[in-house]
């Protein structure tokens, strides 16, 4: 049986400039938010990735017309009434499809949503979404296959304290509350830059939102929203992935079209490991100096270290001098990459939600499999540091979040190609 795979060969340092695409984790939610207003909304700087295509299909199934008049731009023409039932074949492709629940309740007062899919990262409960929406007045029932929700009249404002600073729950509640009657206060809200990007779009549509970027967001409900024009922020996780690639290969890469402050802690960690990191007028530059030093990493909600960069840093730490402990506090399935890195020669010991990484260890090419989106990208980076050829199977996972990763790495001097054939001889 064959499937898409990356073929990665050791090819020396990465050099050059890479333009960061629009943030996947923002653009997905902006497509959902456009459903809140009848008429035409335009979203620019949208990445051309599989997850966006899946979310666009969800919007179409709900009644919107979606077009791409030019690359990286999506236009949504939203009708006066939306469909309220989503098909499992659509939402099963995408975890983020849960965020259409808030807009459907706000617009139509009811929704039936098939259980969302996406990467298998362990326990990612949607209970916080549902509990918050219930506080806004929604009646919710769900089983193994679908969620049903309805509200009698309009949603109403409420004080909601999230037990965990969930990004998805904060986004869903923002969209539901923006046209709810009265004031909603979301305490322990997620603080990610993507939350602020969503809030900016909702304000452009006429919403009254304050406090995004802090742990308390206040939403004063308005009667209705209007369509708007918005540009997506740069993808900090994609930028961080290329930054790790520069440090891992001892290269020198200028990463543009992204706000370095969105990566404050990861860039600080790279600097502490021995890389040179410089802010520029268009982004930032990372220069690997050799002799990486091990350090500990603990993933936490923003502004803590992002779980979406943890696999990339695991690959990097395998080449650092000393012992590092990586603690995962966000997704309990994130360490699925460890066995694949070990195939390449990394020495990593798992202890509950900690990974002990001892390095540096020489890596050798092997056949490995992407277990999820970020693991796939990390394995491609590890292949750059491995002797011989590394085959990263299940490349489809990477397509969910990185547009044309092989070509972009090749432009930086890497030897990476994409093939629809996973049965490739591996040299050593």
pLDDT of residue 122: 40
| Same domain (yes/no): 354, 380 | yes
Is position 31 annotated in a ligand binding site? no
Write out the residue range of the structural domain in which residue 359 sits: 5-21+234-419
Q: How far apart are CA 159 and CA 280, in angstroms?
A: 41
| Same domain (yes/no): 178, 252 | no
| Same domain (yes/no): 310, 371 | yes
Collapsing DSSP to helix, strand or coil, 253 comes out as strand
Active-site residue flag, 43: no
Comparing 37-51, 140-154, 352-366, the range with the smallest average pLDDT is: 140-154
pLDDT of residue 113: 86
Please give the residue that has the higher pLDDT: either 86 or 341: 341
- Please list the helix, strand and coil fractions of the chain in percent, rounded to the nearest 5, in that order: 35, 25, 40
Beta strands in 20-85 (DSSP E): 39-44, 65-67, 73-78
Tell whether the model's pLDDT for residue 219 goes beyond 90: yes
Tell whether the model's pLDDT for residue 348 goes beyond 70: yes
What is the sign of the dihedral through the CA atoms of 380, 384, 386 and 390? positive
Residue with tokens 């008049």: 69
Q: Is residue 74 part of a domain?
A: yes
Q: Is residue 144 part of a domain?
A: yes
pLDDT of residue 427: 42
Tell whether the model's pLDDT for residue 117 goes beyond 60: no
Q: What is the mean pLDDT of residues 66-71?
A: 95
Domain end, chosen from 211, 231, 251, is at: 231
Closest to 409 measured CA to CA, from 427, 426, 392: 392
Tell whether the model's pLDDT for residue 191 goes beyond 50: yes
Tell whether the model's pLDDT for residue 270 goes beyond 90: yes
Could you give the number of structural domains in the chain? 2
- For the stretch 355-365, pLDDT in tens is 999 999 999 99
Tell whether the model's pLDDT for residue 112 goes beyond 80: yes
pLDDT of residue 420: 79
| Same domain (yes/no): 103, 115 | yes
CB-based contact 150:138 (threshold 8 Å): yes
| Same domain (yes/no): 120, 66 | yes
Edge-first strand order for the sheet with 276-279 is: 15-19, 252-256, 283-287, 276-279
pLDDT of residue 423: 52
pLDDT of residue 98: 86
Domain end, chosen from 231, 246, 271, is at: 231
CB-based contact 122:332 (threshold 8 Å): yes
Query: Residue 213, Cα to own-chain centre: how many angstroms?
Result: 17
- What are the structure tokens assigned to 176, written together? 């539901």
Please give the residue that has the higher pLDDT: either 86 or 213: 213
pLDDT of residue 11: 84
Q: Is residue 345 part of a domain?
A: yes
Domain end, chosen from 185, 209, 231, is at: 231
Q: How many residues does the chain have?
A: 428
Q: How far apart are CA 137 and CA 153, in angstroms?
A: 9
Catalytic residue (choose from 119, 128, 162, 190): 119
Q: Is residue 208 part of a domain?
A: yes
Q: Write down the pTM of the prediction.
A: 0.93
Please give the residue that has the higher pLDDT: either 46 or 422: 46
Tell whether the model's pLDDT for residue 276 goes beyond 80: yes
| Same domain (yes/no): 180, 313 | no
| Same domain (yes/no): 191, 281 | no
pLDDT band at 120; cut points 50, 70, 90: very low
Comparing 2-16, 109-123, 157-171, the range with the smallest average pLDDT is: 109-123
Is position 25 annotated in a ligand binding site? yes
Pairing state of beta strands 15-19 and 252-256?
A: parallel
| Same domain (yes/no): 241, 161 | no
pLDDT of residue 359: 94
| Same domain (yes/no): 198, 147 | yes
Q: What is the mean pLDDT of residues 19-40?
A: 97
| Same domain (yes/no): 153, 177 | yes
Is position 24 annotated in a ligand binding site? yes
Give the CATH number of the domain where residue 65 resides: 3.65.10.10
- For the stretch 371-400, pLDDT in tens is 999 999 999 999 999 999 999 999 999 998
pLDDT of residue 94: 73
Q: Is residue 216 part of a domain?
A: yes
Q: Is residue 34 part of a domain?
A: yes
Q: How far apart are CA 99 and CA 202, in angstroms?
A: 14
CB-based contact 85:61 (threshold 8 Å): no
Tell whether the model's pLDDT for residue 118 goes beyond 50: no
Tell whether the model's pLDDT for residue 275 goes beyond 90: yes
Q: What is the mean pLDDT of residues 97-106?
A: 92
Average pLDDT, the chain: 93
Is position 422 annotated in a ligand binding site? no
Cis (ω within 30 of 0) for the bond into 360?
yes
CB-based contact 274:291 (threshold 8 Å): yes
pLDDT band at 428; cut points 50, 70, 90: very low
Q: Is residue 427 part of a domain?
A: no
pLDDT of residue 95: 67
| Same domain (yes/no): 87, 187 | yes
Q: Is residue 425 part of a domain?
A: no
| Same domain (yes/no): 251, 173 | no
Collapsing DSSP to helix, strand or coil, 133 comes out as helix
CB-based contact 283:258 (threshold 8 Å): yes
Q: What is the mean pLDDT of residues 134-161?
A: 92
């Amino acid at each position: 049986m064959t499937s898409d795979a990356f073929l990665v060969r050791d090819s020396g340092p990465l050099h050059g400039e890479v333009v960061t695409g629009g943030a996947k984790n923002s653009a997905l939610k902006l497509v959902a938010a456009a459903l809140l207003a009848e008429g035409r909304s335009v979203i620019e700087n949208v990445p051309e990735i599989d997850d966006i295509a899946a979310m666009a299909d969800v919007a179409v199934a709900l009644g919107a017309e979606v077009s791409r008049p030019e690359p990286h731009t999506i236009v949504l023409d939203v009708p006066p009434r939306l469909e309220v039932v989503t098909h499992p074949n659509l939402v099963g492709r995408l975890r983020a499809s849960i965020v259409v629940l808030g807009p459907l309740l706000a617009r139509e007062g009811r929704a039936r949503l098939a259980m969302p899919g996406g990467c298998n990262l362990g326990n990612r409960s949607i209970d916080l979404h549902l509990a918050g929406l219930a506080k806004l007045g929604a009646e919710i029932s769900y089983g193994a296959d679908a969620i049903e929700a309805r509200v009698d009249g309009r949603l109403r404002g409420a004080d909601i304290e999230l037990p965990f600073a969930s990004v998805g729950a904060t986004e869903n509640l923002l969209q539901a509350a923006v046209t709810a009657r009265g004031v909603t206060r979301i305490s322990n809200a997620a603080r990610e830059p993507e939350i602020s990007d969503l809030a900016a779009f909702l304000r452009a549509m006429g919403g009254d939102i304050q406090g995004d970027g802090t742990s308390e967001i206040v939403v004063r409900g308005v009667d209705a929203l209007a369509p708007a024009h918005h540009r997506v922020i740069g993808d900090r996780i994609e930028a961080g992935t290329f930054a790790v690639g520069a440090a891992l290969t001892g290269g020198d890469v200028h990463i543009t079209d992204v706000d370095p402050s969105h990566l404050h802690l990861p860039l600080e960690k790279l600097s502490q490991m021995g890389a040179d990191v410089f802010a520029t007028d268009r982004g930032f530059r990372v220069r690997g100096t050799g002799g990486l030093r091990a350090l500990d990493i603990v993933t936490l909600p923003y502004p803590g270290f992002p779980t979406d960069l943890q696999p990339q840093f695991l690959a990097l730490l395998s080449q650092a001098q000393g012992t590092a402990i990586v603690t995962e506090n966000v997704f309990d399935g994130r360490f699925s990459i460890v066995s694949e890195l070990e195939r390449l020669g990394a020495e990593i010991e798992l202890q509950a939600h900690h990974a002990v990484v001892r390095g540096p260890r020489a890596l050798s090419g092997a056949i490995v499999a992407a277990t999820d989106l970020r693991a796939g990208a990390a394995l491609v980076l590890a292949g750059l540091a491995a002797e011989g050829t590394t085959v990263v199977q299940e490349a489809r996972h990477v397509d969910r979040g990185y547009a044309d990763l092989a070509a972009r790495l090749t432009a930086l001097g890497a030897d990476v190609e994409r093939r629809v054939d996973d049965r490739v001889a591996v040299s050593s």
